[in-house]
Amino acid sequence: MNTALPFPSSPKARADLKPGALYAIDGTDSYIYYGQVAPNKQIGFFRFRSREILIHEALAAPLMSRFGVIYPSIGTALRAGKWLSLGRHELKPELLEEPVLVQWPVGTLTVTLWKGGNILGNTVVHDPEIQDLELIAAYDATYHVPPRLQADFCETADAWSAGGSIRRERLKKQDLAARFPQQPWHQLPGDWVKVQ
């Protein structure tokens, strides 16, 4: 199946959020990325990209990242031709497990660890054990997902700017504090631990 980018617009398209639904995503970098809906409605994205649609190769690739996407924005992206539905496929086994996610309230260094609807406990944001865990957030399918997928796939030095893991979010806060030192909402607390 060969489709030029972006995909054809589909004015009546609706998002399918059932487990196993597979999507092709216009990465805006001339590549197609792939994501599959997990039982908790997060999307798992594969460490695979291509210039034409390659469903079997995408499904054979390992997971690269997994995060929440704002549900209505998926329908909007489908109608605009930014995402393309590829039907439902056997669910990647890694997507069956609930991930541990981190809730980081504004103005504190204390974070809460969640697994599904259960609180696992609290810790500090600089705890070395949680640096690669995903921050609880929801991304817009058209505006936030493509840069996040590019950052996750290429792992460039500035990948932190797309957000995601706790380490990336800490780097983002440090950058904002350095660039906007006069803005009180970007100032770091006195007990901030710098990312190494």
- The model's pLDDT over 1-50, given as tens digits with 9 standing for 90+, comes to 444 557 998 999 999 999 999 999 999 999 999 999 999 999 999 999 99
Query: Which residues fall within 8 angstroms of residue 168, CB to CB, at 6 or more apart?
Result: 159, 160, 161, 162
Rounded to an integer, what distance in angstroms lies between the CA atom of residue 167 and that of residue 102? 11
Outline where DSSP puts E strands in the chain: 21-26, 32-37, 43-50, 63-69, 83-88, 100-103, 110-115, 118-124, 134-135, 138-139
Same domain (yes/no): 61, 82: yes
- Domain identity same for 181 and 154: yes
pTM of the model: 0.91
When divided into structural domains, the chain yields a total of 2
Inter-residue contact 30 to 5 (CB < 8 Å): yes
134 and 81, same structural domain?
A: no
What does the pLDDT read at residue 3? Answer: 47
Residue 106 shares a structural domain with residue 153: yes
Q: Which domain holds residue 138?
A: 100-185
